[in-house]
């Protein structure tokens, strides 16, 4: 129950049981009311999608929706720019399809009703951008003006963004049309796609499976045909895992290639049905690299000694290397296992991730209820400091990153800097 879950979040100690019950019930009601309101807002949003799509179909009965949905991104973008396909037909066809997909797998959390006005503005311009009229879906926590970035957490409900994130601004400048936001895992710290606000998103290829996470709503929507290009974020797999689970192509760009401004966390990157779509998108994001004729020096590796890539991944790297060489670039490598890879992953990465003992992460769950998919994980973070210290002593021969003192954190920063500057 909600009261039972909230009880787990209370500090230990002597308390008046009546006061506890009153507190829990009051908090539970407030949380439930916020979640119920968010669901009602989402439902109204989906009703609006249905309304505008139905109106367009009634006014344009000859639209060949199946043909539009079958076009790959590169071809769709070309037809839109040359005028052989109207952006209105694309907009309302994808709105209708996105609605159908989310009814099946629960992936859309918000409809950006301003997309219709944006399309009218795009129509009035003489020059056409690289993604003129292309519909784009956006992961929940990437900021879009006037829309809430929930991260699957109650504390963010009702707080609409005051401006678009940089990635959304860039997309709009190139005349792409963001039209929906998609579901994520609560707090985005695992590989599923579920939260207690909007529920579980399932995989369109198998409803008994997860689409992966945390950009799972994007993966599910694109695989279902409800979007042709989506944007997720990725730190340790949140684009790559859903792309793999859903049979898509996804790219986590090198850090800070795409701006994180007004985006809660992670490297922003595209997700689509094929590699050509990603290349077109990256041409937009990294225009200077694509427009330069200067030969580049590029390093590569097809394995780094910690997690082993599958054979098809190695093959893809080798094919890419050959193509880059043919294009006149200088290729360096392969770079095999970096020195001390176990130390870097187990010690530097993990200790850096939990350098505060997960305190900042747990702050995000205050006044919230933990989704069942995260319960065991969050319960571990809630262990008292004394218990953590005892465990750290017991496990020190195996795991040393449980030491979270300020002194150890400074040493950790120095160790990271040494690795960075020595390579």
Q: Could you report the per-residue pLDDT of 312-339, keeping only the tens digit for each?
A: 889 999 999 999 999 999 999 888 666 7
22 pLDDT band (50/70/90 cuts)?
A: low
Question: CA-to-CA distance for 271 and 137, rounded, in angstroms?
Answer: 10
In this model, does residue 172 exceed pLDDT 80? yes
In this model, does residue 110 exceed pLDDT 50? yes
- Report percent pLDDT > 90 for the chain: 60
In this model, does residue 13 exceed pLDDT 70? no
194 pLDDT band (50/70/90 cuts)?
A: very high
Q: So which residues are the catalytic ones?
A: 139, 214, 238
Look at 164-173, 313-322, 406-415 and tell me which has the smallest mean pLDDT: 406-415
In this model, does residue 236 exceed pLDDT 90? no
In this model, does residue 241 exceed pLDDT 90? yes
310 pLDDT band (50/70/90 cuts)?
A: confident
Q: Could you report the per-residue pLDDT of 48-99, keeping only the tens digit for each?
A: 999 999 999 999 999 999 999 999 999 999 999 999 999 999 999 999 999 9
What ranges in 60-151 are assigned the alpha helix state H? 65-70, 73-82, 87-105, 115-124
Distances (CA, A) of 50 to 38, 92, 238: 19, 10, 30
Q: Could you report the per-residue pLDDT of 338-360, keeping only the tens digit for each?
A: 677 888 887 777 777 777 778 88
Buried b (16+ CB within 10 A) or exposed e, 393-418: eeeeeeeebbbbeeeeeeebeebbee
What is the token pair recorded at 92? 């309302």
What integer pLDDT is reported at residue 330 of this predicted model?
A: 95
In this model, does residue 116 exceed pLDDT 50? yes
CA torsion through residues 392, 398, 399, 403, sign: positive
The 3-state secondary structure of 15-64, one letter per residue: CCHHHHHHHHHHHHHHHHHHHHHHHHHHHHHHHHHHHHHHHHHHHCCCCC
In this model, does residue 7 exceed pLDDT 70? no
Structural domains in the chain plus CATH codes: 40-291 (3.90.1300.10), 293-423 (no CATH)
At 253, give phi and psi (nearest 5°). Answer: -65, 160
User: What average pLDDT does the segment 198-217 reach?
Assistant: 97
Question: CA-to-CA distance for 194 and 124, rounded, in angstroms?
Answer: 40
User: What average pLDDT does the segment 110-133 reach?
Assistant: 94
């Amino acid at each position: 129950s909600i009261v039972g879950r909230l009880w787990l979040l209370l500090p230990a100690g002597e308390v008046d049981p009546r006061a506890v019950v009153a507190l829990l019930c009051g908090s539970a009601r407030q949380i439930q009311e916020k979640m119920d309101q968010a669901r009602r807002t989402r439902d109204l949003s989906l009703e609006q999608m249905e309304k505008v799509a139905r109106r367009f179909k009634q006014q344009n009965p000859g639209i060949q929706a199946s043909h539009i949905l079958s076009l790959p991104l590169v071809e769709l973008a070309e037809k839109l720019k040359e005028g052989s396909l109207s952006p209105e037909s694309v907009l309302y066809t994808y709105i209708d399809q996105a609605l159908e997909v989310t009814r099946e797998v629960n992936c859309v959390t918000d409809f950006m009703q301003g997309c219709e006005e944006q399309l009218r503005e795009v129509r009035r311009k003489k020059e056409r951008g690289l993604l003129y009229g292309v519909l784009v879906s956006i992961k929940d926590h990437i900021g879009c003006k006037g829309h809430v970035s929930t991260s699957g957490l109650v504390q963010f409900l009702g707080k609409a963004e005051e401006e678009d994130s940089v990635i959304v601004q860039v997309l709009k400048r190139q005349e792409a049309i963001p039209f929906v936001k998609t579901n994520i895992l609560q707090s985005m710290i695992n590989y599923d796609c579920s939260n207690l606000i909007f529920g579980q998103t399932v995989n369109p290829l198998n409803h008994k499976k997860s689409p992966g996470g945390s950009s799972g709503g994007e993966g599910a929507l694109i695989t279902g045909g409800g979007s042709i290009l989506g944007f997720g974020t990725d730190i340790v797999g949140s684009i790559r895992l859903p792309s793999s689970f859903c049979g898509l192509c996804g790219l986590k760009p090198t850090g800070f290639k795409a701006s994180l401004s007004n985006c809660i966390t992670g490297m922003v990157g595209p997700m689509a049905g094929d590699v050509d779509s990603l290349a077109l998108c990256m041409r937009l994001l990294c225009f200077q690299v694509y427009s330069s004729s200067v030969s580049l020096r590029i390093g590569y590796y097809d394995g780094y000694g910690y997690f082993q890539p599958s054979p098809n991944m190695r093959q893809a790297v080798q094919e890419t290397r050959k193509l880059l060489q043919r294009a006149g670039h200088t290729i360096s490598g392969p770079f095999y296992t970096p020195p001390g890879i176990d130390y870097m992953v187990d010690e530097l990465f993990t200790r850096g991730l939990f350098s505060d003992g997960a305190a900042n992460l747990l702050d995000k769950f205050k006044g919230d209820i933990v989704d069942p998919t995260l319960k065991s994980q969050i319960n571990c973070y809630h262990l008292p400091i004394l218990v953590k210290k005892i465990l750290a002593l017991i496990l020190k021969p195996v795991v040393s990153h449980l030491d979270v003192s300020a002194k150890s954190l400074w040493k950790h920063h120095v160790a990271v800097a040494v690795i960075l500057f020595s390579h």
